[in-house]
Structure 1
Amino acid sequence: MVVDTVREEQALRQVTERLVENFGGTYSAEYIEGAVAAARRRFAGHPVRTFIPILVERYVRRQLAAAGEEADTAVEPETGRARKPKHQAAVDDSSPETWLGSRRFAPAAVAAVIAALVVVTVVAVALAVRQPGGAPNTAAPVAPITVVRGVVGSEKMAFFQDPKVVAALARHGVKVEIEPAGSRQIATSIDLAKYDFAFPSSEQAAERIQRQRNVTAKYIPFSSPMVIATFTPIAELLAKAGVVHQGAVSTFDMGPYLRMVGNNTRWDQLDDNTTYPVRKNVLISTTDPRSSNSAAMYLAIAGYVANNNTIVQGSDAEQNILPTVARLFVGQGYTQSSSEGPFEAYLATGIGPTPMVWIYESQYVDASVRGQTKPDMTMLYPSPTILSRHTLVPFGEPGERLGRLLSTDPDLQRLAAEHGFRTGATDQFAEVTAAHNIPVAKDVLDVITTPTYDTLERLLDGVTKSYN
């Protein structure tokens, strides 16, 4: 049965490809994939599966051709003859002769099977398109696709644009249309009225959205710890300075790093530095804390360390640490509004302008899976770090439906792991990273809790004033 299932899946993929090729000028690929999935469900439970792909293809062709029949029979200007429909002109790979020709059956057996198949096909299609009243419906509609619109943190764009994710959602009758933005920007300055959901990268940003929209529902389908993308020579240089602790999974000690920043230490002042002897301060590149969640998480970690490894609480603690944490951002100069920008610069330009970049672990894993990282690139886990819990806030039933699917559908959870996210099924993430030889922390233990939403907002406001 497993072999038959694999063959059926392969055959249906070929069916979908043929239909997209034939009808792609009239229908989107997602629509056709949904039509194939809906047709396949009509034959669910049938014990004989051999001819299901043929039945599915004929049924879907009948649906798609009905709407485009007039265009298909247009007159060819060169000859004045009726033009043959594209899908009919194509080679019919699903014919019984094609399916059986590769097997050495006796001619009589082949004829008998073909005759039986014709009968089965006619009966099955007739039953599939028959309406309750008994009259055939030659243009039976495909199960409708619900379009769900949302705004998401840029680090999730690759996930939602993955054709496999698009197809998995289409099987459930969902098509997602998204726009990227910095997660804090989503929570503070974007008009969310035109969207069905918002999907920032943290519970803090989601909490603000929930307050603004008076929404209690939320979904957390996956998470990702914060990490530092750097290069092996930089990690080795900082290991000599006591900032990096090397191992199978290397860590970045935030304590000595903050002291280094407080002393305005430059790269060319580090001992035995022949690797990166540049005259600029040792700083991690981040996004803009005024618009991006990843920078806000960096601020939360730095604030915790600057506050004697204690969560920041109260106005006195806030004022005491502000000069230290503000220096981390103001000294960088221009920063981008979302985490996608600095990480792309890291991948493209190398060690020169961006020796260290603050990112989500999922971004590094995703880039490694897609072969975008280079051998001298490496990832460091800051000590301590924060687990960023990507939180979807729905604004109605379409958003609720998407949140449920992302949180519970096995295929979507597996695809999230392929894009570097940690899901409830921890073995999926482990399998992806092991298959691509990506050294990651099996369990992220040195994780702190962020300050309260209001405290974090006041710290961010203080950093914003420091820019002026």
Structure 2
Amino acid sequence: MAINRRAFGLGLLGLSVAGTGAIVYGRDSPLLRGYFGEATKLFGFIGGEKEGFLADPDVVSALRRQGLELDARRAGSVEMSRERAILDQNPQFLWPSSNGFVDLARQNGVKIQRDQVILNSPMVVYSWDAIAKGLVSSGFAQPDGDARFRLDLAKLLTAILANKSWADLGVPSLFGQARLLSTDPNRSNSGFMFAGLAANLLAGEVATEQSLARIGGQVRTIFDRMGYKPSSSGKMFEDYLAGGPGAQPLVIGYENQLIEWVLQDEERWKRLEAAAPAKPVILYPQPTVFSAHPLIVISDAAAPLVDALMSPDVQQIAWTKHGFRGPLGLSGETQNPLVSSRIMPRVDAVLPMPDIRTMLALIGQLAA
């Protein structure tokens, strides 16, 4: 049967329009935009401990291949989840450092499209080799291999509350009363999480609003004795490295921070190991809490960022170059010999954080 020329022409026209439409529609996909050398630019706020990871050229390239480019600005996890000065800037995503901030953001009117834990890192205490050995000699810590330690944090907090001196803790070279330093719990997640862990240990269980009446004052005493508290975990770790044992003897941080610092410049670390008078060490509190890093998607445009950050190549970079464990809290398969002896492959002694109502009540007491 002969084909009508007019019908044939209309058919070709229809196919052309459909094909053009598919291309135009497809170009809105971040993955295809990345294929064409374009990128969807996303604006949001992140915890300071993730700055190095997102600035890594390998991560930038991996996201660019998936059509994404980030304008990620530092803010404390508490701040980004509730302060209008940040939320009124209309970020497309937030990336705090604890699951509790998903609920806090929602309570403060953030219209959350999706949330997904991307990275994990246990809370640890950073110290120095001579101080760690003193804590071992006085029964506050135990060696766990050649270069890492387990810390009896409940015993240490009790000693701090009892006004014990550094000499009482086996460290006579330090002056004055023992102290443990962290970030501001009303601005930064590491201080927030340490407050929750301290409350749990002093309560003898997961702290509740009821138990705060009994132990809230003790937690406040521990924080009051710290003095100045930085507003971000990244700044806290910088101060630790710069200050040395005298100024920064025991510091709350994330496990990944020292790993990342070592891997940034392996030759620098080898020189430090060989000649520095004081060497950084990690003490793992027994028990500790895990800092999960949930990406909070606010704008539809930021939804593809979840899959991009969860892709195997980005997760591999997160572990091998920055020391972040995956969403399940497990260490990666590849172990760099410079850090493998310093970290625990598994961290099993873990407590849950108090619920968000209890934590808000606690940090309210600490801010009073």
TM-score > 0.5 by shorter chain = yes
Partner deviation per Cα, 1:318-347 (whole Å, 9 max, x = no partner): 110012111111111111100111211111
Partner deviation per Cα, 1:269-319 (whole Å, 9 max, x = no partner): 445x44x2312x2111100111111111111111111112x011242x111
Query: What is the Cα deviation at residue 143 of structure 1?
Result: 4.2
Q: Which has the higher contact order (CA 8 A, sep 6+)?
A: 2
* Cα 1:444–1:428 shift into 2, 3 Å: closer
**One of 174, 185, 206 as aligned partner of 1:311:** 206
Counterpart in 2 of 1:27?
Answer: none
- Which is worse superposed, 207-216 or 166-175? 207-216
The runs of 5 or more residues in structure 2 that have no matched partner are: 1-30, 274-278
Query: What is the Cα deviation at residue 191 of structure 1?
Result: 2.5
- Preserved contact between residue 223 and residue 423 of structure 1 (Cα < 8 Å): yes
- Preserved contact between residue 140 and residue 155 of structure 2 (Cα < 8 Å): yes
Query: What is the Cα deviation at residue 349 of structure 1?
Result: 2.7
**One of 236, 240, 245 as aligned partner of 1:346:** 240
Query: What is the Cα deviation at residue 261 of structure 1?
Result: 0.8
- Preserved contact between residue 365 and residue 438 of structure 1 (Cα < 8 Å): no
Provide the rounded CA distance (Å) in 1 between the counterparts of 2:349 and 2:261. Answer: 24
**One of 369, 376, 379 as aligned partner of 2:263:** 369
Provide the rounded CA distance (Å) in 1 between the counterparts of 2:43 and 2:124. Answer: 30
1:266-285 equivalence runs, <5 A: 266-271=165-170, 273-274=171-172, 276-279=173-176, 281-285=177-181
Query: What is the Cα deviation at residue 216 of structure 1?
Result: 5.1
* Cα 1:432–1:460 shift into 2, 3 Å: same
Point out the structure with max Rg over C-alpha.
1
Counterpart in 2 of 1:300?
Answer: 196
Partner deviation per Cα, 1:238-262 (whole Å, 9 max, x = no partner): 1122111112241111121111111
Counterpart in 2 of 1:97?
Answer: none
Amino acid at match of 1:234: I
- Preserved contact between residue 117 and residue 327 of structure 2 (Cα < 8 Å): no
1:19-418 equivalence runs, <5 A: 38=35, 142-189=36-83, 190-192=85-87, 193-211=89-107, 212-215=109-112, 217-248=114-145, 249-271=148-170, 273-274=171-172, 276-279=173-176, 281-308=177-204, 310-315=205-210, 317-371=211-265, 374-375=272-273, 376-407=279-310, 409-417=311-319, 418=321
Counterpart in 2 of 1:444?
Answer: 347
How much identity, in percent, do the aligned residues show? Answer: 27
- Preserved contact between residue 154 and residue 182 of structure 1 (Cα < 8 Å): yes
Give the aligned CA root-mean-square deviation in angstroms: 2.2
Query: What is the Cα deviation at residue 435 of structure 1?
Result: 6.0
Counterpart in 2 of 1:456?
Answer: 359
* Cα 1:393–1:335 shift into 2, 3 Å: same
Partner deviation per Cα, 1:63-95 (whole Å, 9 max, x = no partner): xxxxxxxxxxxxxxxxxxxxxxxxxxxxxxxxx
- Preserved contact between residue 150 and residue 196 of structure 1 (Cα < 8 Å): yes
Partner deviation per Cα, 1:386-421 (whole Å, 9 max, x = no partner): 0111011011222211112112x1111111112110
* Cα 1:289–1:439 shift into 2, 3 Å: same
* Cα 1:426–1:328 shift into 2, 3 Å: closer
Provide the rounded CA distance (Å) in 2 between the counterparts of 1:230 and 1:187. Answer: 30
Partner deviation per Cα, 1:210-237 (whole Å, 9 max, x = no partner): 3321325101111110001111100011
1:9-20 equivalence runs, <5 A: none
Amino acid at match of 1:231: W
SS in 2 for 1:250: strand
Amino acid at match of 2:218: T
SS in 2 for 1:177: strand
- Preserved contact between residue 227 and residue 359 of structure 1 (Cα < 8 Å): yes
- Preserved contact between residue 288 and residue 349 of structure 2 (Cα < 8 Å): yes
* Cα 1:349–1:454 shift into 2, 3 Å: same
Provide the rounded CA distance (Å) in 2 between the counterparts of 1:213 and 1:424. Answer: 23
* Cα 1:433–1:358 shift into 2, 3 Å: farther
Q: How many residues align?
A: 323
Amino acid at match of 1:227: V
TM-score by length of 1: 0.65
SS in 1 for 2:332: helix
Query: What is the Cα deviation at residue 147 of structure 1?
Result: 0.3
Partner deviation per Cα, 1:14-60 (whole Å, 9 max, x = no partner): xxxxxxxxxxxxxxxxxxxx99973xxxxxxxxxxxxxxxxxxxxxx
Query: What is the Cα deviation at residue 430 of structure 1?
Result: 4.0
SS in 1 for 2:151: strand
* Cα 1:356–1:210 shift into 2, 3 Å: same
The runs of 5 or more residues in structure 1 that have no matched partner are: 1-33, 39-141
Provide the rounded CA distance (Å) in 1 between the counterparts of 2:222 and 2:150. Answer: 19
